[in-house]
Amino acid sequence: MDERLFKIMGRHLKYDEEEQTLFKDRSENREILEKIASIKSMEIVAEIVSAKGCNTGHEIGQKFYFDGAGNLIAEKLPKKTCIFLLGSLSAHIFAIHELVYAGINPADIKLRFPRIGCADVGVENCGWGKVIVETSVITT
């Protein structure tokens, strides 16, 4: 592996010398950085497939886009976005990363559990509403 990648990441993450050493000495970080090209070539999409009683007004068909690293792409967002829905998506994005680190391209497989919902439990369970999204991965 090219050691320059560690230096680039250290500068990007604004590590001091001690943090840089800790980062470089962790073998898992080497494995992750070896997969960085796969991560950079992905886009993660979460599309609303069910929405009822959403205080934010989310509707079926709205999409949320994340780059491969899991960063929300702001210019592709709906006008308003519910933090409780976005928070739920972190588990899926983490799982997608784990697939990549294991050498599996998530765009090439059918996710067994592609759907996740917002934190609200719906009016029938003493909440207000419920939004369900389905995540997928696109290789760019």
- 6-45 pLDDT, tens per residue? 889 999 999 999 999 999 999 889 888 888 888 889 999 9
- C-alpha closest to that of 32 among 96, 101, 88: 101
Whole-model pTM: value is 0.86
How do the domains of the chain map onto residue ranges? 4-34, 42-139
Cβ atoms of 130 and 121 within 8 Å: the answer is: yes
d(CA 75, CA 88): 20
| pLDDT tens readout for residues 34-91 | 888 888 899 999 999 999 999 999 999 999 999 999 999 999 999 999 999 999 999 9
